[in-house]
Amino acid sequence: MHVTMDTLVSLSKRRGFIFQSSEIYGGTGSCWDYGPLGVELKQNIKRIWWRDYIQRRPDMVGLDASILMHPTVWKASGHVDNFTDPMVDCLECRHRFRADKVDEMPWVHYCAATKGNKFTIPAGEPCSHCGERRTLCPDCGKGDLTAPRQFNLMFKTFMGPVEEDAALTYLRPETAQGIFVNFDNVAQSMRRKLPFGIGQIGKAFRNEITPGNFIFRTREFEQMEIEYFVNPRDTVEGKPADEYWHERWIADSLAWFQRYGLRAENLRLREHEKDELAHYAKRTADIEYRFPIGWSELMGIANRTDFDLKQHAKFSGKALTYFDEERKEHVVPYVIEPSAGVDRALLAFLADAYQEEEVRGEKRVVLRFHPELAPVKVAVLPLLKKREDIVRTAHAVRDTLSRHWPVVYDDTAAIGRLYRRQDEVGTPYCVTVDVQTVGDSDKGESADGKVTIRDRDSMEQARVPIDALPPVFLDLLNGGPWSAVASKYPAAKT
Ligand code: GAP
């Protein structure tokens, strides 16, 4: 089953993942706020990316450059001149569209063959009554569209108190340029030898003409970008170094998304045609994901050659070269750029994790997040909230586990419903404290000091001593098999 975008939007709002920005004022176009669970999920994506690509690799270092940069950066990078989309305006309703996307939208049509009745016709199709194709505005069906004009996607702003041209600058439309302009600072301060990479996570802003599809295309988003510098004179395994590393990064990036749960059948590679390559690229391959809106770009991996370093050297007058000790010459490195959107990655992980199934005649919605991604790792649930000793023990378990992981306590419903709630937000394990845990002196039953752990995916249970919980969860949350826990700590048969 492939989930719809409406289902994800509704789940995200209901369960505290993502809210529309400024909702009480009617919302702002294409801006979204990450709620308590959304922010955890987003942090987890960024944390594993940073750990896998920066922390664990000896050939990588990190950076956090500022969003506002010298305006000449954007002249040098080509963004002032080339970072544009063609746009058309409706002369009647004033709506604005991307010229290249108008025919991909459903269109409103007042059909002369049916006394001017209004129809909304699927994208690209003619009217089934009169056979006409769209020529007017797709939204109002009345206005002519202007000829296409180029619209720059960078947000303009002013540095300082005076709004004049000399103070004009931009919110960065990609994090990449902060890396290029710091190439020499990083290479020198960290004594780097080629090949090496610089990674960065941060906000980027684009004044998209037609944002939309939830968090897929927004005006403010986050990127996780790597610029991997290689010596273009080197060869690796018989290939030019840039081409070898480009292949390596494509394979690594695909494997990374699969490692954290995206199914292979929902991922594919798409090579950019020569005529769609960005002005800086020798070759670009997109990793596409089968989003609820269809196959679309999840990340791009570009070979940007020496374009950016050369441009910044030209505009700044500072050499951005590397001294090749072996060949005793200065070279301008080539750069491979794996560039992923955090928000798009989150949407893909959410869509892939979503499953509906039937359990004992009832619908169960479950997010099968990889444990590293799950916003909450463990939920502690008291079986009876009237029993003060059960509640106290459950709080104590939560306190102990929350030293290591995000853990929640919930006693606001019966146990079946509490499990469903945790399934719906992807919590991998629930811990239930019951009468056996604390004993029942009235009935002369002694405490066994054990709790029940329930596994989200199999819904199986194990009965584990409270003292053993931290090592058990350490193992499970690091990928240890549930079957090992289930056989070591079998649950009593009910
Ligand atoms: N530095 C290269 C670069 O920025 P890009 O293909 O324009 O390349 C890289 O962007 C990634 O950033 C995309 O693959 C996508 O995941 C994300 N991205 C780009 N525009 C976005 C937008 N308007 N909203 C959300 N994510 C976006």
Q: What is the pLDDT of residue 157?
A: 96
Q: Whose CA is nearest to atom 24 of ligand 1?
A: 217
pLDDT in tens, 191-230: 999 999 999 999 999 999 888 899 999 999 999 999 999 9
Query: Is the CB of 85 inside a 6 Å radius of any atom of ligand 1?
Result: no
Q: Which of 9, 34, 11 is nearest to 21 (CA)?
A: 34
Instruction: Report how far ligand 1's centroid is from the alpha carbon of 99 (Å).
Output: 20
- Of 177, 180, 339, 342, the residue with max ligand 1 atoms within 8 A of its CB, to mutate for a pocket test, comes to 339
Instruction: Report how far ligand 1's centroid is from the alpha carbon of 356 (Å).
Output: 30
Instruction: Report how far ligand 1's centroid is from the alpha carbon of 174 (Å).
Output: 8
pTM for the model stands at 0.93
CB-based contact 368:426 (threshold 8 Å)? yes
Q: What is the DSSP string of 341-382?
A: EHHHHHHHHHHHHEEEEEETTEEEEEE---TTT-S-SEEEEE
Q: What is the pLDDT of residue 494?
A: 53
Instruction: Report how far ligand 1's centroid is from the alpha carbon of 192 (Å).
Output: 28
Can you tell me the distance from the alpha carbon of 124 to that of 98, in angstroms, rounded to the nearest whole number? 15
Q: What is the pLDDT of residue 482?
A: 97
**HEC profile of 223-257:** EEEEEEEECCCCEECCEEHHHHHHHHHHHHHHHHH
Compute CA 314 distance to the chain's CA centroid, rounded to the nearest angstrom: 35
Q: What is the pLDDT of residue 442?
A: 84
For residue 487, what are the CA distances in angstroms to 434, 451, 459, 491? Answer: 21, 15, 15, 9
Q: Whose CA is nearest to atom 14 of ligand 1?
A: 299
Q: Which residues of the chain have pLDDT under 70?
A: 1, 29, 493-494
Q: For the chain, how long is the longest CA-to-CA vector?
A: 87
Ligand 1 atom nearest 223 alpha carbon: 12
Query: Angle of helix 36-50 relative to helix 342-353, nearest 10 degrees?
Result: 110
Q: What is the pLDDT of residue 337?
A: 98
pLDDT in tens, 329-360: 999 999 999 999 999 999 999 999 999 999 98
Q: Whose CA is nearest to atom 20 of ligand 1?
A: 217
